[in-house]
Structure formats: structure tokens, C-alpha cells
Structure 1
């Protein structure tokens, strides 16, 4: 892809997209609100600590690349900022939710994306997430990519391709899933258990449907 973002630009763009969907009453965002959104401890990986100068620099770059712009709203004395990604790309609600989540938390599995994107779009099942990812990968240029499965990992992970170094991991390679999970906070381990439960529930439902179809043949 010709358009390349660094990690700070990706975080800022992801925050603008997220807040437009989840809290439209507070959107567009002031510089201070956007800084706080970038530095959130929830739904962010990694957790960062940007100051206003960092965010201003990222916004300036995003505006030059055509992904954000400044606006003034009635009753506000400070400028506000909004994303313009949908002026450039015709993404569906499913696609923009997936891209936003990848911008905010980096590479993720299908199950993680389904659970974490829930606040922006409610995917019916894992198959809908996979279909959305395939659609993004088949665009020209491709918007997402499937990473090779790593040793010790159970599932493949996906990345967005706006980032200058997609797929770069911040955790040591070669560690098993069990070892990684033992280092996670309790809230993250609970989230992963919920994701696994959702995946198993989907598989059970598919088996029930297949069995019902099988019985109907006799």
C-alpha cells in the first residue's frame, strides 16, 4: 500500500474512528479529548502516554496524508478533529470496526476481533469476522493480511496494512500461548476465556445444524 502510517498515526486514527462510533455525542474530538483517548488503559495495546505535542504532530501528519481534518463546532472555542478515512475508502460497518480494532490493539485472532469489536459492530459469529477479513484482504490494495501461525500459537493473527511495519510483535517470539497467558492480567485472561467459549459455542451450533440435516435425510 502506498499510504503508510507510523504507530502514533495509527493510534490517533483508530481513536477517531472508535469515538465516532461509540460516543458520537462527543465527536469530533478536541486535542485534549483525543490525547486522553490515545492514552486509555482499556482497549489499547500497547498502553501509551502521549502528550499534546505528540498528538498534534500525529494529527498534522494525518491531515497531510488525507486521513484527518480540523473543524470548528458551534458553541466550542477550541478546534475539533475528525477522521476522513471514509472519504477515501468505501468500507462497510463491519470492515471499519475490524480495521479500527487492529489499529488500536495490533495483531489479533478472529476470536479476539469478534469480542473486542463488539462495542462498534456486533458480529453474529466467527464466520462473519472471517468473511470481513477476507474481503479486506481481497481489496486492491489489500487492507489486511493473515500472519503465518507462530510456534506455540493455536490460531493465526491478522494485521492491518496501513502500518509501516505490520505484524511486528512486541512480545518475545517462541513462547507458548500458555506462558504468554500466565503473564497477562486477570481481566485479559477472562476475556480470552470468553473468546474461547464463544468459539466453542459457534462450533457446537454448527455440529447441531449438521446433525439435524443428517437426520432429515432418513
Structure 2
């Protein structure tokens, strides 16, 4: 399927819609505000952007012209849905891989398998490579395998939805990788702390309700 190159903003908007459909299904389709927040996330994004709602809306309109995004009616707040699989003419597994490449930049097949787990769980790295090879063989190609960087064990892949990429682009530095990993770990720890607090509140509520009903608490053994 012929498709003009996407702008960086359009690629980010499309990828965020795909990502959030899987990670926050209760909030999907996304409002313009939620979509903008997703585009400007500091974690799991390369490059990090700082888009305004006007820029995001302009990107949405461009994607609508390409039948990659639709506006959802029936709500007081305008919301947006993606049509990536049909619009790009690829299966959902390939959409997951393209999404990660648009969000995080060039990745190895192993990194793609790890980072796409919430979008699609691939059995192994070989299955990821099979879908990448299929995307690379399409006319026009959707991805390209970059030359292996000096000292690297694996080659990285890049998407071509925004046009040709520079094969001389340097791999992310170890410091950048470490910083990104530290951010992700910090985010996971914060989520864990939040969930622990919610669990503690629920336990207190259950114990109070049990006491009011004259029943033993769930974690109290019967005598």
C-alpha cells in the first residue's frame, strides 16, 4: 500500500494510540489531552518530544487523511482511534513492532521482543525477526536492518514510515541506555508503591466491613 512519509509528530501520535489501546484500554480511545500527554512522555520515548495540543491535532488531521486515525463520535469529548493494521496493510504483530520502533527508535530484535510484550507477546526472537524480514521485503519496505555498529553483538532495525533513515546514525550511548533503564526502573518502583498502598487500603476496608457484619476478616483464621 502506497503511503507518503509520515512526519515525526504523525508517527508519534499513531504509535501512542496503538500503545495506549493495549496499556490503558479503559481510557481508550484517547482524548486530545491524553494523546498529547502520551506523545510527551519522558520514559520509553526516543526522541523525547514536547508537542502542543495544536501540533498533535495537526498530526491527527494528517493521519485521518491517510485513514490511519479516526474520530470517535458519541462522546462530549472528542476521542481518537487508530486504524494502523488496515491503513498500513500489515498484521497486528507487525503493528506492535512498528509501534516500538516509532516510540523508541532503532532496536535489536531482542529489544523489540522485550519492549513489545505489552502489545504482543512473541514466542521468541526468531519470530520477531520473521516479521521484521516480512516488513523489510514489502513494497515499499516498512523497516530496514541497520549495519552492525562497532562492538555491537546484534544489528538494529529502524522503521521507514518517516522516510529513509541515515545508516550512519550512531547507536545510543551506554550512558543514554543506562539513564533510560533507570527511568523505567523508577517508574516501575513508583507503580509498585502505589499498588501496595491501594492494597493496604483495600485490606483495611475489608477488615472494617467484616467487623461491621460480624464476620472474621479474610486473613483471620477461623477458630
| Counterpart position of 1:185 | 178
Q: In the alignment, what sits opposite 1:19?
A: 20
Q: Give the total of aligned pairs.
A: 183
Change (3 A) 1:155 1:81: same
Whether the 8 Å contact between 1:181 and 1:189 is mirrored in structure 2 is no
Change in CA separation of 1:37 and 1:83 when aligned onto 2, cut-off 3 Å: same
The separation in 2 between residues aligned to 1:89 and 1:59, in whole angstroms, is 16
Contact 2:143 / 2:158 at 8 angstroms: preserved in 1?
yes
- Contact 1:136-1:142 within 8 A present in 2 as well: yes
Q: 1:110: Cα distance to partner?
A: 1.0
C-alpha displacement of 1:153? 2.9
Aligned to 2:41: 40
Kindly state the Cα deviation for residue 112 of structure 1 after the two structures are TM-superposed: 1.0
Instruction: Show structure 1 runs of 5+ residues with no match.
Output: 192-218
Residue matched to 2:198: none
Corresponding position of 1:128? 127
Runs of 4+ in 1 over 6 A off after TM superposition: none
Q: Which residue of 2 aligns with 1:117?
A: 116
Q: How does 1:1-218 map to 2 (within 5 A)?
A: 2-73=3-74, 76-167=75-166, 173=170, 180-186=173-179, 188=181
Cα distance change of structure 1 residues 189 and 17 upon mapping to structure 2, 3 Å threshold: same
Separation in structure 2 between the aligned mates of residue 190 and residue 87 of structure 1, nearest angstrom: 34
RMSD: 2.4
TM-score, normalization by structure 1: 0.75
Q: Distance in 1 between matches of 2:41 and 2:34?
A: 11
Tell me, which stretches of 5 or more residues in structure 2 are unaligned?
185-223
Three-state SS of the structure 1 residue aligned to 2:126 is helix
The structure number with the bigger radius of gyration is 2
